[in-house]
Amino acid sequence: MVWLYLILGIPFLFAFLVPVLHKRFTPRIHTGWFVLWIPLLIFGILLSTVPTISSGGIIDLSLPWIPAYDINITLFIDGLSLIFGLLISGVGFLVILYSIYYLSQHKEALHNFYIYLLLFMGAMLGVVLSDNIFALYVFWEMTSISSFLLIAYWFEREKSRSGARKSLLITVFGGLAMLAGFILLTMMTDTYSIRGMIHNLGGIHSHTLFLPAMVLILIGAFTKSAQFPFSIWLPDAMEAPTPVSAYLHSATMVKAGIYLVARLTPIFGGGGVWFWLVTGIGLVTLFYGSFNAIRQTDLKALLAYSTISQLGLIMSLLGLGSAGLAPEAGNAQAAYALAIFTALFHLVNHSTFKGCLFMVVGIIDHETGTRDIRKLGGLMHIMPISFTLALIGCLSMAGLPPFNGFLSKELFFTAVLNASEISVVIPVVAWLASVLTFVYSLIMVFKTFTGQPRVKSGKQAHEAPLGMLIPPMVLAALVVLLFFFPNVLVHYVLAPAWAAVLPSLAQANLLTVHVSPWHGVTPELLMTLGVIILGGTLYKTLKKWVKLYRTYPQILTLNHIYETALELMESLSLSLTKRYMTGSLRDYLIYILSFIVVAVGGALVLAQGIAFDPSHDAALSIYELALLAGMVVCAIAVLLAETRLAAVIAVGALGFLVVFFFVLFRAPDLALTQLVVETITTVLFLLCFYHLPKLKKETTPLPSKVVNGLLSLAVGLVMTLVALSANGNPLPESIAGYYENAYELAGAKNIVNAILVDFRGFDTMLEILVLSMAGLGVYTLIKLRMAGGKENERS
Amino acid sequence: MAIVIGILFTIGTYLILSKTLLRIILGTSIIGHGVNLLILTMGGLKKGGPPLLGLKESLFTDPLPQALLLTAIVINFATTALFLVLSYRTYKVLGTDDLEELRGCDDE
C-alpha cells in the first residue's frame, strides 16, 4: 500500500527534474510531454481504489513527520477525497495536454510553468488526501503560493502582478484565519485527525470555542472558494494563462473551500449558525456572481463570475444539506441530506463544463487574438467544433437537457423547495439566480459565435489544432455522458462521498438516490421552464435593460472598497510612523521616560508598594546633611550655569562631594576610585570643552520647557518613591555576612577587593574589557578619518 | 538620602532633554552619580566599620554594594570618556552641537 504515497510524492519530486529536462530538450520537445504522465498515473492509482471505496472501505496510511507533536503526513482516501482526487488528476491531465498546444515552446518559460503546476497539483492532492489537520493546512498554503506564482506567470505585465497580489492577500488572510480555527478545533477535540474529531465530538456544540472556530474556518473556506465578499480576487486572477484559469480557478483550487466545508460538515453541521452562514453566503454569492456575469465584456471575466456563482450554488447546497444533521429535522432528514448529494453531483458537473468552457475561450483567444465579446462574433462557421463545445458547456451551465447541468439543477431546485419550509426566500433567490445564469450562458454562446464579426482582428481566425480541441472534447463528452448514465458515477463515486459527508445518516441507511432525467411533471420541471421563458425574454431585451448596470455606483463595488481600504491602511500607517518617528532625540527620550514613569509609578500605586518605614533608617548626622545640601547646590548650579566652564566645574564639585560621601559611609576603596575618576573626567571635560562651542542659552520654547520640567520632576519623584519604599518594605537578610569569611576563603582582609577579584572576578574581567573597548573607541574616533569627513572638518 | 537622589535624577533628566550635546553628557554624569548613591543607599546606611578585616570591628558596612559600585564607576567613566570624544568629533565634523540641527537623514 505504501506505493500509494506516490500520489503525494511524485508531483513534488518530478518538479525538480523539470528544469533539467527543459534545458536538455528545448526546443525539440515540448516540456509538457514529460509532465503529462504524472496526473495520468495518479488518476490510474486513484481509479484502482474505487472498488474498495465504493464497497464502503477506506484507505488510511500515515507517515510520521513531526511525531513528537503528533503531526503526520497522512494519506486518507474515502469517497469525498476520491472525488476530489479524481477531479484534480483527471482535469490536470487534460489541462496539461491542452497547455502543450496552448503555450509556445519557443517563447515561454515552460519550466517555470510546469514546476508551478506540479507544485500546485501536489499541494491540492495533499489538501484533499490529508487527515491530519496541520498537514492539510500546510498543503492549503502551498496551493495559495503556487496559485500566486501561476497567476503572475507573465510577470512583466502589471495586471498579472496586481491580480496575483490580490489573490495572495485574500487567500492567505483566509488561510491564517483557518489555522486559528483549526487550533481552536484541536483544543476542543484533543486530536489532530479529522476522523478522530468526528469520532469524539462529545458536547462540542455547547463548547465556548465552538462558534469562533466555526467562523474562522469558514472565513478560510470562503476566501479560497471566492464566496461573497471575498470573491473579488477570482476575476482578477484571470490574467493567468488560460490552462491555469481552467484548472485552478474553475475545477480545483476554488473547490478547496467546498471540500473543507463538506469535510467538516459532520463536525459543525446541524446547528443553526452553520446552516445560515453557509447557505446564506452561498445564496448571496450565487446571486451576486450571476448578476455580475451578465455585464462582463471579457469572456474570461464572465466565466470567472459564473464560477463564483456556481460555487455559491454548491456552497448553499452544502448548507441546506447540513439541516439533515439537525436532530429536529426528524423525518425530513433524508430529504435535506439530498442537498449534499446534489452539491457533490454539481461539483463534478461544474468541473466538467467549466473546464471545457475555459478551454474554448482559450482557443478563441488563441485563434482570434481577443477575448472581448464586443469584438467577437460570427465564429460559428469558422470554428464549428469550438462552437459545439461552447454550446454544450453553456447549455449545461444554464441547466438544460440533455446535459448534466440539467440533472444537478433539477436536484438543486428540489433541495431549495425542501428548504422553503425553513424560509421562502431561499427558492426565490435560487430561481432568480438561475434565470440570470441562463441569460449569461446565452450571451456567451450567441454573442461570440453568431452574427457578424464586428472588428477584424489581425489574425485570420481559423479552427484550432486537434490537440488543443481534444481536452475540451473529452470534457464535453463527459457532460453528455453524465446526463445519460449518471448512475454509474453515482454508484461508484458519489454515494461513498455522500456517506463520508454524512456518516451518521449513512449508518441509518437514509442515503439512497436514483438520478434520472425524467421525473414526470414536477414543480422542479416547471421552475426550469420558467427559467427558460424568462431568461429567453431577458436575453432578447438585453439591450434595453443592460444600461441598468451603469446606474450602479462605482463606489459601492467590492473592488473599490478593497482598493480604498488598502490605500487607507498604507497612508494611515505611513502618517502614523511619520508622526511619532520624528528623528529628534528629545522626543524619543520623552517617550521612554514617560513610559518609565507610568510603568514604574503605576506598578507602585497598583501594588500598593508605597510604604515608608523610617525605623530601619539610620539617623542623619550633621556632616551628612551638609554634604547633601552641597550636592543639591552643585546640581542646581549645573542646571543654571550659563558658561560651559561653570557647568563643568559644578559637575566636578558634585563628584568630589560624592567622594566625601563615600568616605563618610566607610567605603575607602570607592572614595579612592571616585576621586581619581572624577579628576580624570573633569580633565577630559576641560580638554574637550576647549574645542566645543560656547554653551548657548537654551532656545527651547516655553511649553517644551514645561514638559521637560514636569517630566524630570516626575522621574525624580518616582525614583524617590522607589528608593523610600524599597527600604520601607521587608527585605530578606543580606548575604553580606558570607563575605566576612574573606580571609579564610580568599586570604584577603579587604573584603571589597576580595569580592572584586575573587568572589565575583568575572565582573571585573568584563569591566576591564569595557575600559579597553572605550579606550580603543576613543583612539579610533580621534585617529580614523574616513573619506567624506575631511571636507567638513574644521580646525 | 532618597530625596537628594530624586533631585539628582530630576536635574539629570532635565539636562538630557535639552538640545546641547554637552548638557546631555553632564546630565548623564549627574544621573550616574544618582544611581551610584542609590545603590549605596539600598545597601543600608547603618553605621559600621569599613569592610576591612584587620580593624577588629564587630560590625561592617555591606561590602557587596561597594564592589558593585566600584565596577559601575569604572564603566561609567569609560562611557563618559567615549561620549565626550564622540561629541567632540561630532562637532568637528558636522559643525554643530545642537541636536535639533543633527536631525534627519537621506533615508527619510
Task: Give pLDDT tens digits along chain B (108 positions).
Answer: 778 888 888 888 888 888 778 888 888 888 888 888 888 887 766 666 777 777 666 677 788 888 888 889 889 889 888 888 888 887 777 777 676 666 655 444
Dihedral of CA A268/A272/A276/A279: which sign?
A: positive
Residues B105, B108: Cα–Cα separation, whole Å: 6
Q: What is the dihedral of CA A340, A342, A346, A347, to 10 degrees?
A: 20
**Mean pLDDT for chain A overall:** 83
Using CB atoms and an 8 Å cut-off, which of residues 715-774 of chain A contact chain B? 715-717, 719-720, 723-724, 726-727, 734-736, 739-740, 742-743, 748-752, 755-756, 760, 763-764, 767, 770-771, 773-774
- As a whole number, mean pLDDT of residues A460-480 equals 80
Per-residue pLDDT tens over the stretch A542-566:
777 777 777 766 666 777 888 888 8
Q: What is the pLDDT, as a whole number, of residue A177?
A: 94
- Cα angle, residue A592 at apex, residues A590 and A595 outer, rounded to 5°: 100
Per DSSP, A384 falls in state H
Identity of residue A342: T
Indicate whether B37 belongs to any domain. yes
The partner residues of A132 in beta bridges, in order of sequence, read: A193
Per-residue pLDDT tens over the stretch A584-605:
788 888 888 899 889 888 888 8
Residues A194, A183: Cα–Cα separation, whole Å: 12
Q: What is the pLDDT, as a whole number, of residue A697?
A: 55
Q: What is the pLDDT, as a whole number, of residue A781?
A: 83
With 0-12 / 13-18 / 19 or more C-beta atoms within 10 angstroms meaning exposed / middle / buried, residue A731 is: exposed
Chain B residue numbers with beta carbons less than 8 Å from the beta carbon of A773 are 78
Under DSSP, is residue A402 helix (H, G, I), strand (E, B) or coil? Answer: coil
Q: Which of A184-198, A360-374, A613-627 has the lowest mean pLDDT?
A: A613-627
Indicate whether B108 belongs to any domain. no
Residues A539, A294: Cα–Cα separation, whole Å: 10
Q: DSSP letter string over A621-682?
A: PHHHHHHHHHHHHHHHHHHH--SHHHHHHHHHHHHHHHHHHHHHTT-HHHHHHHHHHHHHHH
Q: Model-level pTM? A: 0.80
Residues A678, B30: Cα–Cα separation, whole Å: 12
Under DSSP, is residue B26 helix (H, G, I), strand (E, B) or coil? Answer: helix
Q: What is the pLDDT, as a whole number, of residue A566?
A: 86
Residues A150, A143: Cα–Cα separation, whole Å: 10
Q: What is the pLDDT, as a whole number, of residue A700?
A: 58
Q: What is the pLDDT, as a whole number, of residue A772?
A: 93
Q: What is the CATH number of the domain that holds B86?
A: 1.10.287
Q: Are strands A59-66 and A71-77 parallel, antiparallel or unpaired?
A: antiparallel
Q: What is the pLDDT, as a whole number, of residue A124?
A: 92
Q: What is the pLDDT, as a whole number, of residue A327?
A: 72
With 0-12 / 13-18 / 19 or more C-beta atoms within 10 angstroms meaning exposed / middle / buried, residue A162 is: middle
Burial A448-473 (b: 16+ CB within 10 A, else e): bbeeeeeeeeeeebebbeeebbebbb
Q: What percent of chain A has pLDDT over 90?
A: 13
Q: Do A695 and B53 touch (CB under 8 A)?
A: no
Quick count: other Cβ atoms within 10 Å of Cβ A492?
Answer: 17
Q: Is the peptide bond before A229 cis (omega within 30 degrees of 0)?
A: yes
- As a whole number, mean pLDDT of residues A463-479 equals 83
Answer for the pair A450, A380: CB distance below 8 angstroms, yes or no. yes
Q: Which of A403, A744, A370, A775 is nearest to B84 (CA)?
A: A775
Under DSSP, is residue A452 helix (H, G, I), strand (E, B) or coil? Answer: coil
Q: Do B60 and A736 touch (CB under 8 A)?
A: yes
Give the DSSP H or E segment for A312.
Answer: helix A299-322
Parent domain of B85: 1-45+62-97
Q: What is the pLDDT, as a whole number, of residue A556?
A: 67
Query: How would residue A329 be classed by pLDDT, with cut points 50, 70 and 90?
Result: low
What are the φ and ψ backbone dihedral angles of B6, each rounded to 5 degrees? -60, -45
Residues A778, A647: Cα–Cα separation, whole Å: 23
Q: Which three cell numbers stand for residue A340?
A: 449534499
**What's the gap in Å between the CA of A598 and the closest CA on chain B?**
16
Query: How would residue A793 be classed by pLDDT, with cut points 50, 70 and 90?
Result: very low
pLDDT exceeds cutoff 90 at A180: yes
Chain A residue numbers with beta carbons less than 8 Å from the beta carbon of B17 are 586, 589-590, 593, 708, 711-712
Under DSSP, is residue B44 helix (H, G, I), strand (E, B) or coil? Answer: coil
**What's the gap in Å between the CA of A157 and the closest CA on chain B?**
30
Indicate whether B32 belongs to any domain. yes
Residues A482, A407: Cα–Cα separation, whole Å: 9
Identity of residue A357: L
Residues A745, A755: Cα–Cα separation, whole Å: 11
Mutation site for A-interface testing, chosen from B22, B38, B60, B96 by largest number of A Cβ within 10 Å: B22
The partner residues of A74 in beta bridges, in order of sequence, read: A62
Give the DSSP H or E segment for A306.
Answer: helix A299-322
Pick the residue with more confidence: A109 or A306?
A306
Using CB atoms and an 8 Å cut-off, which of residues 39-98 of chain B contact chain A? 40-54, 60-64, 66-67, 69-71, 73-82, 84-89, 91-95, 97-98
Q: What is the pLDDT, as a whole number, of residue A222?
A: 92
pLDDT exceeds cutoff 80 at A211: yes
Chain A residue numbers with beta carbons less than 8 Å from the beta carbon of B76 are 677
The partner residues of A75 in beta bridges, in order of sequence, read: A61
Indicate whether B16 belongs to any domain. yes
Quick count: other Cβ atoms within 10 Å of Cβ A71?
Answer: 16
**What's the gap in Å between the CA of B61 and the closest CA on chain A?**
7
Q: Do A618 and B46 touch (CB under 8 A)?
A: yes
Residues A778, B84: Cα–Cα separation, whole Å: 9
| A669/B contact by beta carbon, under 8 A | yes
Total domains present in chain B: 1
Indicate whether B51 belongs to any domain. no
Taking the alpha carbons at both ends of chain A, their separation in whole angstroms is 84
Residues B26, A639: Cα–Cα separation, whole Å: 10
Chain A residue numbers with beta carbons less than 8 Å from the beta carbon of B69 are 667, 670
Query: How would residue A447 be classed by pLDDT, with cut points 50, 70 and 90?
Result: confident
What are the φ and ψ backbone dihedral angles of A581, each rounded to 5 degrees? -90, 80
**Cα A448 off chain centre by:** 38
Q: What is the pLDDT, as a whole number, of residue B47?
A: 63
Chain A residue numbers with beta carbons less than 8 Å from the beta carbon of B46 are 618
Identity of residue A358: F
Question: Count of CB contacts below 8 A, A vs B?
Answer: 253
Residues A176, B64: Cα–Cα separation, whole Å: 53
Q: What is the pLDDT, as a whole number, of residue A730?
A: 67
Q: What residues contact A406, with CB distance under 8 A and at least 6 apart?
A: A396, A399, A400, A483, A517, A528
Answer for the pair A392, A353: CB distance below 8 angstroms, yes or no. yes
Q: What is the pLDDT, as a whole number, of residue A307?
A: 92
Dihedral of CA A590/A593/A597/A603: which sign?
A: positive
Q: What percent of chain A has pLDDT over 70?
A: 91
**What's the gap in Å between the CA of A599 and the closest CA on chain B?**
17
Per-residue pLDDT tens over the stretch A8-22:
888 888 888 888 888
Per-residue pLDDT tens over the stretch A114-131:
899 999 999 999 999 888
Answer for the pair A397, A389: CB distance below 8 angstroms, yes or no. no
What are the φ and ψ backbone dihedral angles of A47, each rounded to 5 degrees? -60, -35
Using CB atoms and an 8 Å cut-off, which of residues 306-365 of chain A contact chain B? none
- As a whole number, mean pLDDT of residues A407-432 equals 84
Residues A227, A282: Cα–Cα separation, whole Å: 7
pLDDT exceeds cutoff 90 at A74: no
pLDDT exceeds cutoff 70 at A311: yes
The partner residues of B83 in beta bridges, in order of sequence, read: none
Q: What is the pLDDT, as a whole number, of residue B107?
A: 45
Query: How would residue A172 be classed by pLDDT, with cut points 50, 70 and 90?
Result: very high
Indicate whether B71 belongs to any domain. yes
| A529/B contact by beta carbon, under 8 A | no
Q: Which of A638, A670, A724 sits opposite B11 (nearest CB)?
A: A638
